[in-house]
Structure 1
């Protein structure tokens, strides 16, 4: 089923059309029998329940009468109660709660210790565990105390220093040595906690050495390196084999490997999302599996589905199709 069809199911299906679809697909009723009861042709009802035939009050009334006869149509009182219940569900991913997971607590511990003790801190974990979101929260709750730099695979030593200089409000012209001196002078005058997100993308030892030089020469700052598990491999697992990395690792007494959310934490995130049991199970599986994108992919899928459904029920089929589209888009 294409994305447009899934959107149509969520936004355009009337209650009558939805119940007829359920009757055929889930209850095993034959379209021929349903069509006879409604006084319509088999092809008309087939197109109707699949969203390819326009709604009409005549068809909806016939469907309501039929559904009432077989006990599938709720009375108005029950329907209003259902709408009231639906109103309590969230309608946007912006309303999803920020869960204080154990990983968030681990990250906050490293950031706090590295900042206050003026040491290096290292946080490493699979993609999609909320590292960047936690950093954003840290920046908001510690305004004016930290400088955030997002690392790129294209960074050279000089371009990394230029980005740091820009973040500090300094001119970014000159050689790498000139930039380093300018940055160190500014940090001695106004110390900041330096946070480098996606630091695993730097890869080469000379870039990490450039950061260590700034740390050593400033003498009054903390530094946090946050990235994927490759960061832990470099500085926690194999640093002893590479002296140029060990010099930085020795300055990093605070480090954590993130474990990913627990099932209970994901269920807490989904508490006010209107999901069928099957859809909830699928979303939890996605969030717990880093190979399927983990928590990040889970939230991205919910973002699309909540925009589509606006608090109405999200089905297993919707999760499957939007999840597949999301994985393909990020492949």
Structure 2
């Protein structure tokens, strides 16, 4: 059903008669002209050229069912389209009021991580997982440990770790005394692991940086002979052990023991939409939250969740606007700069 109205384009040099326009064309024009969505962004989402989209929203490009379907699907994704049958049969929208209610989405990255963790643990090898900050690596590790109780030891690496302090932390996690030299700690840890094997998970392992710390972990792995080890961190970890290890023999020794590895790709738009499906966001705010989650330079998925945590606490289920997302997002980025 069309919208019978006449509007003027920006130059006011001609009038556009929208009588008989499809719902798809009318809503897409509104999204661009009234809500500020860029034609280039629409074109990228539709897989068409900017000139085609511009002609289409100005009524100068003939419609066909294939184009209308692409536009409908895009409008659904940005919250601008609601089917009549869906509206009649849908349950009332029940917005969440706390970030604790956000679902844990089984993203492709979660599956990639789970694959490496399972293989490294069962095949008794090193596994390496690397990805941008904010992709949910630590949360996925927590889920894995909860699903495999009593089988794994989790260590969060720090930039201040020395070889000895890293070994002390591992000894403490194993319930062992953390006194003595690095060699004594290593012997104590190996002896314990031979008695009771654990899967060792080192989160933020890129912060260890120097080869002597990775060599200490390789020594424990080699001497115990019955454990798997996972190194999880930012992309610097992949550069060290997957890209440039050939040039550094001390790193290649560990890389040769790591047949299971994954570089994380970040969430897809569909995965982010699943995450925020029950958040009461206005269409522009929803679009902005998706942009934040998909862009590591804007903090990625982690920043998206942190912003929602603040805004859900503020709004208690009331609508969240684009301005609110911008305000809290800027504060959050400055705080983490």
TM-score tier (shorter): 0.7 to 0.9
- Alpha-carbon spacing, 1:260–1:266, altered in 2? closer, same or farther (3 Å): same
Tell me whether 1:317 sits opposite 2:317 in the alignment.
no
Residue 118 of structure 1, CA deviation: 0.1
Structure-1 residue corresponding to 2:38: none
Does residue 330 (structure 1) correspond to residue 336 (structure 2)? The answer is yes
Alpha-carbon RMSD: 1.1
Q: Which residue does the alignment assign to 2:306?
A: 300
- Of 212, 217, 224, 1:211 maps to 217
Question: Which residue matches 1:180?
Answer: 186
The alpha-carbon deviation at position 245 of structure 1 amounts to: 0.1
The corresponding residue for 2:280 is: 274
Deviation at 1:142? Answer: 0.2
Counterpart position of 2:50: none
Deviation of the 1:325 alpha carbon: 0.6
Q: Kindly provide the CA deviation profile for residues 53-83 of structure 1, in whole angstroms up to 9, marking residues without a partner as x.
A: xxxxxxxxxxxxxxxxxxxxxxxxxxxxxxx
Q: Does 1:226 align with 2:195?
A: no
The Cα shift of 1:246 comes to: 0.1
Query: Shift in Å at residue 119 of structure 1?
Result: 0.1
Alignment partner, residue 196 of structure 1: 202
Equivalence map 1:1-331=2 (5 Å) = 85=92, 88-331=94-337
Mapped to 2, the partners of 1:146 and 1:171 lie a distance apart of 19
Give the 3-state SS of the residue equivalent to 2:319 in structure 1: coil
Distance 2:222 2:230 in 1: 14
Gaps of 5+ in 2: 1-33, 35-90
Q: What is the aligned residue count?
A: 248
Deviating beyond 4 angstroms after TM superposition, the runs of 4 or more aligned structure 1 residues are none
Higher relative contact order (CA 8 A, sep 6+): 1
1:187-222 CA distance string (max 9 Å, x none): 000000000000000000000000000000000000
Kindly state the Cα deviation for residue 85 of structure 1 after the two structures are TM-superposed.
4.7
Q: Which protein is richer in helix relative to its size?
A: 1
Counterpart CA distance in 2 for 1:130 and 1:325 is: 21
Deviation of the 1:183 alpha carbon: 0.1
Q: Distance in 2 between matches of 1:192 and 1:146?
A: 5
User: Structure 1 CA distance, aligned partners of 2:112 and 2:159?
Assistant: 26
SS at 1:122's partner residue? Answer: strand
Q: Which runs of 5+ in 1 are unaligned?
A: 1-25, 27-83
Classify the secondary structure of the residue corresponding to 1:170. Answer: coil
User: Equivalents in 2 of 1:137, 1:211: separation in Å?
Assistant: 24
1:63 alignment counterpart: none
Distance 1:301 1:273 in 2: 12
TM-aligned CA deviation for residue 277 of structure 1: 0.4
Structure 1 CA distance for aligned equivalents of residues 135 and 334 of structure 2:
20
Q: Give distance in 2, aligned partners of 1:165 and 1:279.
A: 47
Distance in 2 separating the partners of 1:312 and 1:246: 54
Q: Distance in 2 between matches of 1:126 and 1:320?
A: 22
Q: Distance in 1 between matches of 2:230 and 2:334?
A: 33
What is the CA deviation profile of residues 138-178 of structure 1, one whole-angstrom value per residue up to 9, with x for unaligned ones?
01000000000000000000000000000000000000000
Tell me the TM-score normalized by structure 2: 0.73
Larger radius of gyration: 1
